[in-house]
């Protein structure tokens, strides 16, 4: 399989190493310094693009690939206010767009555990929910995309919660799920869900030990996506 990497930072480099170890070819490695190389790249030589760039570059990168018939596997966070545009473009072009805030298989299992626990807590009074996420200092967006996905999973399953807010950035109330973001090196990513009451505290957490799990998941999705159309997600890939 011929893979185009859009965003050749730390994640892009690990993705490239894993892809090549699995017998794939990296057609091009694009970052902010050589984006003009896309002007001469032959789309017919690319089977899939894996996009892990920056929030300000994601929409342009994904649009470039979708309009040229290249399936996209994207993991960039911090740009999702425009995700609807990309989904509409994908449908209009009869293209393929796969997005996940986190490609780790373990994290996606954690998403399911989070939703199940939220359903249980919805039937229980006296607990307040919160999320804490910890990442390395190079991560620009806060809260993390994974934390937002976790928050959405809680809000969808707890009647009293209506929205999430980054803790300390606005007033919080009983209908708001607070998220605390910390940036501490060299943490690849820790997410903690807490339910606190006067009697006790319930916690579930996921801690990544490296970026390997994220990168491997993205490559596995790129292998799986061949021949598929439409807007896809980890639910489609994992088929829980």
Q: Which of 24, 139, 191, 206 is catalytic?
A: 139
Q: Which of 10, 83, 135, 169 is catalytic?
A: 135
Give the alpha-carbon dihedral of 212, 141, 108, 129, to 10 degrees. 130
- Helices 212-224 and 105-122: crossing angle, nearest 10°? 100
136 is catalytic: no
139 is catalytic: yes
Measured CA distances, 34 to 6, 7, 9, 70, 162 (Å):
11, 10, 13, 19, 43
The sign of the torsion formed by the CA atoms of 14, 17, 22, 23 equals positive
Give the pairing of strands 201-208 and 128-135. Answer: unpaired
Q: Find how far residue 156's CA is from the centre of its chain.
A: 18
The residues assigned a catalytic role are 135, 139
């Amino acid at each position: 399989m011929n893979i185009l990497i859009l965003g050749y930072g730390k994640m892009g480099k690990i993705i490239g190493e894993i892809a090549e170890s699995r017998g794939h070819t990296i057609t091009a490695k694009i970052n902010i310094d050589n984006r003009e190389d896309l002007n001469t790249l032959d789309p017919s030589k690319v089977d899939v693009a894996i996009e892990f760039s920056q929030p300000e570059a994601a929409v342009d990168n994904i649009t470039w690939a979708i309009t040229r018939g290249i399936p996209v596997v994207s993991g960039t966070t911090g740009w999702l206010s425009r995700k609807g545009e990309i989904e509409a473009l994908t449908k209009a072009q009869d293209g393929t767009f796969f997005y996940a805030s986190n490609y780790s298989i373990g994290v996606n299992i954690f998403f399911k555990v989070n939703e199940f626990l939220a359903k249980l807590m919805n039937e229980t009074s006296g607990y307040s929910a919160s999320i804490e996420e910890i990442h390395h200092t190079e991560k620009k967006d806060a809260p993390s995309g994974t934390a937002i996905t976790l928050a959405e999973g809680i809000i969808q399953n707890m009647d009293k919660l209506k929205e999430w807010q980054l803790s300390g950035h606005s007033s919080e109330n009983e209908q708001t799920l607070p998220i605390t973001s910390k940036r501490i090196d060299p943490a690849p990513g820790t997410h903690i869900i807490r339910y606190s009451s006067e009697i006790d505290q319930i916690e579930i957490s996921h801690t990544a030990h490296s970026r390997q799990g994220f990168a491997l998941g993205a490559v596995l999705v790129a292998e799986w996506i061949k021949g598929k159309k439409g807007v896809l997600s980890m639910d489609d890939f994992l088929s829980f």
